[in-house]
Amino acid sequence: MNNGVDLVMFDLDGTIIDSTWIYYEIVNAVMERLGLPRPTAAQIRGANRNGTFLWEKLFPESCFKCRPELQDQAWKTAREIAPEMFSRRIALLPEAAETVRRLAAAGRQLAIVTATPAANMEVKLEPLKKDQILGLFAAIITADDTERKKPEPEPLLECCRRLGRPPEKAVYIGDTRVDIRAGRAAGTRTIGVLTGFDDREMLAGENPDAIIENLGGLEAALKR
């Protein structure tokens, strides 16, 4: 994979920052406040479809008629509690900072492409600031930078455009099937990382170029 790859694009949640478990806690807290049963981890993963979270997948059949109202309440509650939960608990994933520094030192151009809205980025970027790696990223593409979001290719193509790199000379690293689909649609190479929402079987079903346990395995994957 090393041949011709000089732009390394990363997803953020579950790839660089250890935030996946916070999302599980947010969902459980929302369901508790709504007086509904706590979902299993598998149910939460199943509700995450193509970059959109479908609260209705977690509601009991008895709530069928009131699902639209419950969805509105769920999103409102999630927006209220998420900032505080992220600010207290978010951190970098193991090997993230060291890997980013080594890639930058080797001359790789680095970028972040995330489905997070710009308004929510400050708290998520705080761990990168703390470990002094934020400045190593040449571009950060958020959900607000393109009309369509992942798994559509536009966010990745916008990143390539801004940095003057063709997609075929880029690789995208992410923890979900959505990330792999976006990279393949954009024409980049793709690497799945097992530090977020999707497991190995889920990622393998999208045929990425490689799957790694964490970012500590990225450099070896780039050399294959």
Tens-digit pLDDT profile for residues 189-200: 999 999 998 999
**Residue with token string 């959505």:** 178
Asked if 212 and 139 sit in the same domain, the reply is yes
Tokens of 134: 């934020």
- Domain total for the chain? 2
Q: What is the pLDDT of residue 41?
A: 87
Asked if 129 and 144 sit in the same domain, the reply is yes
Classify strands 48-49 and 52-53 as parallel, antiparallel or unpaired.
Answer: antiparallel
Q: Max CA-CA distance within the chain?
A: 57
Q: Which of 89, 114, 143 represents a domain boundary (last residue)? A: 89
Using DSSP's 3-state secondary structure scheme, residue 195 falls into coil
Residue pair 90/124 in contact by the 8 Å Cβ criterion? yes
Residues pairing with 92 in the sheet: 17
Average pLDDT rounded to a whole number, residues 167-187: 97
Q: What is the pLDDT of residue 65?
A: 66
Helices (H), the chain: 20-33, 41-47, 67-89, 96-105, 121-130, 154-163, 177-186, 200-204, 218-223
Q: What domain range is 76 assigned to? A: 20-89
Using DSSP's 3-state secondary structure scheme, residue 164 falls into coil
Asked if 131 and 209 sit in the same domain, the reply is yes
Radius of gyration of the chain (CA): 18
Residue pair 23/193 in contact by the 8 Å Cβ criterion? no
Quick one: which of 115, 175, 123 has its CA closest to 142? 115
Residue 181 included in any domain: yes
DSSP class of 40? P
Q: Could you read off the pLDDT of 19-76 as tens digits, one per residue?
A: 888 888 999 999 999 999 999 988 888 887 766 788 988 988 877 667 788 889 999 9
Q: What CATH number does the domain containing 107 carry?
A: 3.40.50.1000
Q: Which of 40, 74, 89 represents a domain boundary (last residue)? A: 89
Residue 50 included in any domain: yes
Q: What is the pLDDT of residue 89?
A: 83
Q: What is the pLDDT of residue 1?
A: 56
Average pLDDT across the chain, whole number: 92
**Residue with token string 């949640």:** 13
